[in-house]
Structure 1
């Protein structure tokens, strides 16, 4: 009896800790409306070839902050803005500042793990429900979960590209080069940003050394689409092709404020493909959706997956 009580106390403490960690980057929201969840479940069950798009709202529950969430996003917490593509390309100082902050934040950022929603979507792929998944995130969490039918629309911070010769290498390898070049550099940082870096002053980063490309001596950049840059046209058209073979589109954890993601909702509407949305707060595509659920991804997606699989087993 005493052991049981202790177990219950520990369980409650664990739940409290999880809620506390979630509250840091996940906006406060009411529990999902059961009627809306049921409609979303029916929407998913009726689809045989589902095209899923995910955004930052799916990864906040893994401890990665986003930009726009009310009260908890980077824009709400600080006046800091992400680096612009043009600034990174033209300014050596900007690159040094970016890489120093990224170097300090990398160990924590790269250690984040997929959460229940990532794993549920991976299971959906295994069960043949998911036709394709495109993510706007650059955190590699879908890949870590095992997702194979996957396109990382904005690239991935776990890869590095040379702007000169286009050679792609591992971010882990670059971290080792940073350590070798900066053996005594140990500046204290604070905070964390959505793209994996931390906050450092210009004075702190002034002595940080950044290596060139091993192959051609060119500029190294994360293989991600920075703000002010554009997504590769061929990649967009390949995703349009994938979307054309889908019978429904589900948007999870994205406000779609960035056009590179919103365009796929517009394309789905153009093709007559029904859209459902799960997100905390309004999105740019709410007027296009036949189902909209305002809730935390982790409170809805895993449950829908389980219910859907159960219904399919009963039918078979």
Structure 2
């Protein structure tokens, strides 16, 4: 009789394993410098998010740059610490990269120098928490980020909405390359340049002196000699149709949507929320600052995602 009233031993053991795993995830203080100012999370917020998750059987996660700030990667739009607030940097535009060889050369030189720092960033407590919830809720993760941190944390069912910085594609024959392999080739082509930088940006692009760019040799496709491009949807480009359809299907197959660390300023992310609401899904948002959909959802929590998710697991 007792077993019908209390959780099983396996339930407790699984939770102990999860708690131990998450407790080993540390967040060095220096990686938190890009986290915006935020209020402490309240018990009410935790309870509300817990109820939202408990009431979901198949959850869809939509993640943005705000979850990677705790891994030391800045977002674009946060006050004071976001990339736009600290610099005049403008992300590479798709048509400029496609049209102009000098833009391609400049981009690859900067990406080459910034790659070492960018590629070594590690997942944080949010990524690991999502991974655990992904298993429990049979869920899908749609991320606007190109930093590969969901995969590093162990998530399997991930749709990278804007592509990934860890894969490279030829613009001519569409051959794919691993970004680490391209870095090795770039080191051989540009042995006179030391590929290190103390700065970091959401897309891996960093500022470097003009003289480095002038003497830089960009990578070319080994199959056809065409220009290579990170498999990222640059600003001004469209998300590939097949990926859009995959996201639409994931939304329809889920019963709820949890948005984490995204302002939803970019329409490709915002339309996911619109679709979920049109289909009658439960939608919740956890983000430090305001978002484009705050007025549309019943649950918006203004807090650091890393302060909530480990607790609701």
The SS at the match of 2:145 is coil
How far has the Cα of 1:191 moved from its partner?
Answer: 2.6
For residue 106 of structure 1, the aligned residue among 103, 112, 115 is 115
User: Counterpart in 1 of 2:182?
Assistant: 174
User: Counterpart in 2 of 1:134?
Assistant: 142
User: Counterpart in 1 of 2:286?
Assistant: 278
**What are the within-5 Å matches in structure 2 for residues 67-78 of structure 1?**
67-78=76-87
C-alpha distance in 2 between matches for 1:67 and 1:180: 32
Query: Is 2:277 the partner of 1:269?
Result: yes
User: Counterpart in 1 of 2:127?
Assistant: 118
Deviations 1:18-52 (A, max 9, x none): 34531x20101110122122111101111001011
For residue 206 of structure 1, the aligned residue among 211, 214, 234 is 214
Deviations 1:74-111 (A, max 9, x none): 10001111110111111111111111111111111111
The normalised TM-score by structure 1 is 0.88
For residue 150 of structure 1, the aligned residue among 145, 158, 167 is 158
C-alpha distance in 2 between matches for 1:38 and 1:214: 54
User: Counterpart in 2 of 1:242?
Assistant: 250
Query: Is 2:240 the partner of 1:232?
Result: yes
Range moving further from structure 2, 154-163 or 236-245: 236-245
Distance change in 2, residues 1:208/1:199 (3 Å):
same
Runs of 4+ in structure 1 off by over 4 angstroms are: 187-190
RMSD: 1.5
Distance change in 2, residues 1:190/1:63 (3 Å):
closer
User: Counterpart in 1 of 2:45?
Assistant: 36
User: Counterpart in 1 of 2:94?
Assistant: 85
The SS at the match of 1:53 is strand
How far has the Cα of 1:192 moved from its partner?
Answer: 2.1
Alpha-carbon contact 1:187-1:204 (below 8 Å) kept: no
Deviations 1:210-241 (A, max 9, x none): 12100111110000100000101221122111
Structure 1: runs of 5 or more not aligned: 1-14, 306-316
The SS at the match of 1:117 is helix
For residue 167 of structure 2, the aligned residue among 152, 159, 181 is 159
C-alpha distance in 1 between matches for 2:66 and 2:303: 10
Alpha-carbon contact 1:97-1:205 (below 8 Å) kept: yes
Range moving further from structure 2, 168-177 or 188-197: 188-197
Deviations 1:128-169 (A, max 9, x none): x14211000000000111111110000100000001011111
C-alpha distance in 1 between matches for 2:270 and 2:210: 35
C-alpha distance in 2 between matches for 1:193 and 1:215: 31
Alpha-carbon contact 2:117-2:200 (below 8 Å) kept: no
C-alpha distance in 2 between matches for 1:187 and 1:203: 14
How far has the Cα of 1:190 moved from its partner?
Answer: 5.4
